[in-house]
Structures are given as C-alpha cells and as structure tokens.
Amino acid sequence: MKKYRCIKEFSVPECDGDCFETGKYVWIEVGKIYELSERGSTYLSANIHLDCEDGSWLEIDAETLKECFKEVKV
C-alpha cells in the first residue's frame, strides 16, 4: 500500500455521487495524505485513484502525481 502527501496545492473538478461533474472545483490542500487504490480501476477518465484519510477521493494522471505528491514511507 503506497501513501502520498500533497506537496503542491491544485484543484480538480467536483463530482457528485454518480461521478458527474458539478461545475465546481475542489482544492487539494498541501499536507493531505492519500492512499493509492490498488484495485486498478477508476470512476473517471484519469488513470490513478487516490483515497484520502478523510474519506474523500480523487483521480489524477501520472504527471499530476509526480508534480503534486511525494510518496510517504509507511
């Protein structure tokens, strides 16, 4: 299980319970910890699914992971 800490604030489109974009954006805050989902599937078009310790989740591409996150040693 890999965990990542956000090191650069950025925003992603907000999605409702059915995974449709609401037209709003959510800011991903520096310092939040996310766990890489190992199930291999995503809800949206991104290829990386991260689950936050607070119960929220986000999906990003590999470039955003590299730019905005740092792996946390468990």
The predicted structure's pLDDT at residue 6: 97
- pLDDT one-digit tens code per residue, 1-34: 899 999 999 999 888 878 788 999 999 999 999 9
pTM greater than 0.75? yes
The predicted structure's pLDDT at residue 30: 97
> Residue 38 and residue 25: Cα distance in Å, rounded?
25
Residue 44's contacts (CB-CB under 8 Å, 6 or more residues apart) are 15, 19, 59
